[in-house]
């Protein structure tokens, strides 16, 4: 049997190393009779250390909805040291969007202040 990756056997606080994927679509029943049925997805966050699971309901597979789900997750569970995902378009789009924000000159000072206040290196 192969050795487990270091991320899965290192003792860390829960959700500091996290995997994410989507599950769904889930059919939604409308509250009103005349409304059209909808669908939603579930963002599944899995802690690599404890195997704890955190679920977030997401309206669609867009990058914006993923970033909203990630913000809710971080507000509840704290910052992650590493996040692993597949190469879904929404994850790649979110990575590109965050990279643009980090590299933009107008946000450098606020990002540095936020990182200093939360202990991010």
Specify the CATH number for the domain of residue 49.
Answer: 3.30.420.10
**Residue at 21 is within a domain:** yes
**Banded pLDDT at 114 (limits 50, 70, 90):** confident
Stated pTM of the model: 0.76
- Count CB neighbours of 30 within 10 A: 10
**Residue at 15 is within a domain:** yes
In the block, residue with structure tokens 């992650």: 80
| 99 compared with 18, residue with greater pLDDT | 18
**Residue at 107 is within a domain:** no
Residue 81 has pLDDT above 90, yes or no: no
Query: Which 3 state secondary structure label does DSSP give 33?
Result: coil
**Residue at 27 is within a domain:** yes
Range of the domain at 45: 6-86
**Residue at 104 is within a domain:** no
**Count of domains for the chain:** 1
Annotate 92-114 with b (16+ C-beta within 10 A) or e (fewer). ebbeeeeeeeeeeeeeeeeeeee
- Count CB neighbours of 83 within 10 A: 16
């Amino acid at each position: 049997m192969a050795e487990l990756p270091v991320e899965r056997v290192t003792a860390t606080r829960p959700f500091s190393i996290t995997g994410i994927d989507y599950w769904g679509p889930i059919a939604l029943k409308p509250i009103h009779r005349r409304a059209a049925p909808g669908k939603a997805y579930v963002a599944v966050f899995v802690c690599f250390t404890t195997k704890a699971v955190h679920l977030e309901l997401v309206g669609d597979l867009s990058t914006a909805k993923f970033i909203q789900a990630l913000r809710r997750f971080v507000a509840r569970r704290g910052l992650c040291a590493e996040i692993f995902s597949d190469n879904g378009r929404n994850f790649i789009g979110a990575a590109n969007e965050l990279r643009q924000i980090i590299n933009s000159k107008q946000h450098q000072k606020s990002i540095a202040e936020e990182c200093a206040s939360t202990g991010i290196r």
